[in-house]
Amino acid sequence: MSITEAQDEIIREFSLLDGDMEMTVFYLMELGQKLPPLIPGDKNDDNLVKGCQSLVWLTASLKNDTVQFSGDSNTAITKGLVSLLIRIFSGQHPDDILHADLYFMKKIGMERFIGTQRSNGFAAMIKQMKFYAYAFKTQLSLKS
């Protein structure tokens, strides 16, 4: 599934909630609960995302020239946000991640249910994922 297709799927899912704030937050937390657990050793300072109010851990690996992400958070809503980004970016080529136009946040009205602090943390997560993609792109270019 492409980045665009993943975003469109998320938009469709959230549109079923018809803007209900309580249901949206509950659904976001439910998505976080479905996130596969991180290996306990991966919850370390090296994998912490800087700039998040909550604790957020992100790991990345390169498999068949695509980036595979894993993540976790100590709060339910933030874990849901991590799960959305993993769903969009995991399995994508580094170039596609670096050039991705993320529009799903605006379409689902995310600014209505996450505050400024969490928005800053969300931006930090995206930045970290793009940093991993850049590192893997460099690694792939050295292999060529």
Instruction: Print burial letters for 62-74: b (CB count within 10 Å at least 16), e (below 16).
Output: beeebbbbbbbbe
Catalytically annotated residue among 10, 52, 100, 126: 52
* Catalytic annotation present for 35: no
Nearest alpha carbon to residue 89 among 60, 112, 57, 121: 60
Q: Would you call 52 helix, strand, or coil by DSSP?
A: coil
d(CA 98, CA 79) in angstroms, rounded, equals: 22
Residues marked as catalytic: 52
